[in-house]
Chains A and B, each alone.
Chain A
Amino acid sequence: MLKQVHGGRALITGCVAVAHAIRLADVDVIAAYPIRPYTGVMNAVAQMIADGEFDAEYIVADSEHSQFEIGKHASLVGARAFVGSSGVGWAYAAEPIVITATNRAPVVALVGNRALDDPGAFGTEHNETLMTRDIGWMFSWAADAQEALDLTLLAYRISEDPEVMLPGAVCADGSFVTHIKYPVEVPSQEQVEKFLPPYQPMHVLHPDRPITVAPQCNDEYVFETRRQMDEAARREPEIIARAHEEFSQIFGRQRDPFLERYMTEDADVMLVGIGSMALAARAAVRALRGAGRKVGFIRVKRFRPFPADQLKELLLGKEAVGVIDIDFSFGSPLHGGVLYHEIRSALYDEEDRPPTVNFIAGLGGRPVTVGSLMEMSDVTFKTAEAGRPEKNVHWIDVRE
């Protein structure tokens, strides 16, 4: 199935790239329920199993809720498990999504980002992911098909680390990452085995050692389980950094675990965004640099754990920062996006914090073009000149 094109690269979509990561990670149980754009992954995995290239238990559930229950249970009895969904599918699975984290099941999921209904739309928005940001899942965000493959392998390594044992989702923009065929380097089985040790569950259900999983309890125990999760979340950055270090040694990619830095070193102002917009952002930054505008772009690759320290290192002392959200948070402190509020919160206590401005862009999957990014850059430079934002939140490319 994997057609080698040139120098080990195959021309495949982000969904198929993730399916190869699942095959290479030798996942034991795949629980599936279709909703586009995630569906591309389950289709590709089913094809691999049908073609005899991959052996796994493949269960098509009756809904996303059951699908995520199956993934969680499989993980808790010692199977490496994969699930995934998009938009309202992810929302429908919200209950088992929460419990997967509280049960400390290191399930890996692919979120093919899709706008929440209504109106029913296929295009990307990041809100379905962000509505589950506070419950213990880790979220990484791919900019292209290669990164979707890489982050899936990394997600298993990080989630299954005994110091973490929390689920991880790889997020990929609908259409732009999930459905565009890019040249992708698909690593060998030997490389992946070197990177990813077999999964060791924390507790094994066995008649000789009886356990009860997830009993009913109230304030006498709940508080402490939250504390355990907080401690694990605080350990994540170090485990993530170590995993990326080893990954880059073996595969030659993914050196930076948290941020992509594009022409940031001497930048006067900085744009910050998530996901596939980075491609157009790089093009915009090059064009602006050509015109003498010293702008840099930072792509946030991981939203949980949030790379606050790494962002502070790059943003403090800058003349202005423009944060781009492909999401919304209605009624939030500044009526802006989720990433914007997180970044402002991270900078608040620092003396040399820059003025910040927010751009709501790309909603419903409307492409964030080079032209849109030039406009955002202009507003950010104006914010730098004024020393404070004229207004905090700008909706870009919307018909007002």
Chain B
Amino acid sequence: MDRVISIEANGRGVTSDTICRELVDTIATAALREGKVAISYMRYGDDPVRVGIPMKAFANVSSEWEPMEGEVARYNPENIDVSFILDATLAKGIESWAHMGRRSVLEKITSGALVIANTAMAPAEYLKYLPKTDVDYTLVTVDGGDIQRPSVLPLLGALAAESPVVSEEALREALSDKYSNLGGFVEAAAKLKKMKVRKGAGGGPAFGPPPRLPSASEMPIAVVVPAVPAGGRNPHFKTGSSRTHRPIFKHDSCVRCRTCWIFCPDGAVDIDDDGYPDADFDYCSGCGICVEMCPVDAIESQLEMREGG
């Protein structure tokens, strides 16, 4: 290993941020134990974590300290060699640290990367939801036991089986600090499903290039930015990435009272010409307040992504 290997964990604030950190910390600890050097960190802008908001944590591993030095003082590694997707719905995209809008969950993966997703779906099925990439990579799916809060054991078991970044023995030793039963770790190799993904494959959302940021001479003076006009929505901040459950509006029992429209904290409910509500799923964060507030139970909450689509 003559270069820095970067590992990324994609999760959600509060829901799985501790699991993201446990993943990268365990990998870094295992690397240190086998005499390598390592650092780990949460993406600075995600801390303090916010409920359901996509977030990332990272580890850098290298055999020597010197190659690491140019990579430390950053907000994220530039090239990801191993990516964990803790919640399959993150295929929709994830906000970057800066004001770049929603970006592909696979944006930074490098050629030949290993992507380990927590889902019971087979890789070919999950690939239908993932965005296209411009590199080839290996997609591994493993059932972490919970669609949002997986155990780290099968995820790290999959890493041990598919990547040489740290040895299985060092991972086992690092996990033994906390876990007495490593069954999930040991069994992952036999249970995981994997496929080679060619560049350009993937049926998920398309993401363009990052937005062009204005220069000092173009920006308004005095820390002023144009706001979203009344009734409009921010095209650069689509809050739907935090949604894991979606509201289904049943118009046959709806009484058109607009309670959902009033209470939606994201202003994501639109009323159609006949007075019936529907969510704008670019912006609906899936909080479920409309479901709770509807006086006639005409809104139902469904899992965003279920087995079989």
**Residues of chain A at the chain B interface (Cβ within 8 Å):** 3, 5-6, 9, 11, 13, 36, 118-119, 122-123, 144, 173-176, 179-183, 276-277, 279-280, 282-284, 286, 365, 367-370, 398-400
Contacts and interface: CB of A to CB of B under 8 A. Distances in A.
B39 A181 contact: yes
A183 B73 contact: no
Interface stretch (B120-128, B193-201, B210-218, B250-258): B210-218
Contacts of B215: 399-400
A11 B47 contact: no
B177 A3 contact: yes
Given A11-B38, A181-B41, A276 B28 contact: no
A128 B37 CA distance: 33
State the main secondary structure of chain B at its contact with A: mixed
A157 B119 CA distance: 54
A369 B73 CA distance: 8
Nearest to B178: A3
B40 A369 contact: no
Nearest to B215: A399
B73 A179 contact: no
B40 A181 contact: yes
A284 B70 contact: yes
Interface residues of B, number: 30
Contacts of A279: 69-70, 72-73
Given A283-B66, A367-B73, A180 B39 contact: yes
Contact of A179 (B32, B41, B216): B41
B45 interface: yes
B70 A400 contact: no
Given A118-B223, A179-B41, A367 B214 contact: no
Contacts of B116: none
Contacts of A3: 29, 177
Contacts of B72: 144, 176, 180, 276, 279-280
Can you list the 3 inter-chain pairs with the closest CB atoms, starting with the nearest? A283-B70, A176-B73, A399-B215
Contact of A286 (B42, B66, B217): B66
15 contacts: A3-B29, A5-B29, A6-B35, A11-B29, A11-B38, A36-B47, A122-B45, A174-B44, A180-B39, A181-B25, A276-B72, A279-B72, A398-B216, A399-B216, A400-B217
Nearest to A144: B72
Contacts of B216: 398-400
B38 to A, nearest CB: 7
Nearest to B34: A6
Given A176-B72, A183-B38, A280-B72, 19 more contacts: A11-B29, A118-B223, A175-B75, A176-B73, A179-B42, A179-B47, A180-B39, A181-B39, A181-B41, A276-B73, A279-B72, A280-B73, A283-B66, A283-B69, A283-B70, A367-B74, A369-B70, A369-B74, A370-B70
